[in-house]
A and B are shown apart, each in its own frame.
Chain A
Amino acid sequence: AQSVTQLDSQVPVFEEAPVELRCNYSSSVSVYLFWYVQYPNQGLQLLLKYLSGSTLVESINGFEAEFNKSQTSFHLRKPSVHISDTAEYFCAVSRYGGSQGNLIFGKGTKLSVKP
């Protein structure tokens, strides 16, 4: 069975500082990896995904994540954060060929960007 661990429940940073949100997964089979973002009192939105190919994936708002198979990690990074990046971020994993309900979410990391 897969599992996802987000190592930090809260990450406070100052505006324009770099940030890394850590995600590790465990699985005995190949996986797909996702980062979703949730703004206060809203649903989740896809931020980026790794399905295959290049291990570095980018989002349109400056976030990037790198799939590291040997370390079973998919950390999310941004070189310079904005106040508007304040949100909760969820890492998720699903199995190749898995059923529709086989998406496992981490417990989330709350990013708080301070001026």
Chain B
Amino acid sequence: DGGITQSPKYLFRKEGQNVTLSCEQNLNHDAMYWYRQDPGQGLRLIYYSQIVNDFQKGDIAEGYSVSREKKESFPLTVTSAQKNPTAFYLCASSTGRSSGANVLTFGAGSRLTVL
């Protein structure tokens, strides 16, 4: 079945450590996204990528970094510069062919807790 796989599902980190969240899709989608979800805050866009080797900052990119070396993969690194990294992180993808009208397919999420 086609879909998006995020790993790990749960991750604990000590302050000052960088961590990388994996996102892999087999939907042949061009565009991929990372969102952060906090209780009562909805979803906020961290980074997105419309094509391999290109990505753009979203609304809350500070303290995060991404790469898009392959169409299928869009890993997110939460760096030590992120002041409050404890959150639920969601990866999504879309065909990218219809600007604005794209439907997003989401992964199951990764819950990061900073100890």
Interface size on A, as a range, is: 20 to 34
Chain A residues positioned under 8 Å from B16 (CB to CB)? none
Is B48 within 8 A of A101, CB to CB? yes
Question: Interface of chain B, helix or strand or loop or mixed?
Answer: strand
- Closest B residue by C-beta to A95: B100
Please tell me if B84 contacts chain A, counting CB pairs below 8 Å: no
| Of the residues B40, B41, B50, B109, contact of A100 by C-beta under 8 Å | B50
Q: Does A107 lie at the interface of the complex (its beta carbon under 8 Å from any beta carbon of B)?
A: yes
Q: Within the assembled complex, what's the spacing in Å between the Cα atoms of A74 and B23?
A: 31
With A42-B108, A43-B106, A44-B106 known as contacts, the answer to whether A97 contacts B100 (CB < 8 A) is: yes
B18-50 residues at the A interface, CB under 8 angstroms: 31, 33, 35, 40-45, 48, 50
Q: Is the CB of B42 within 8 A of A101?
A: no
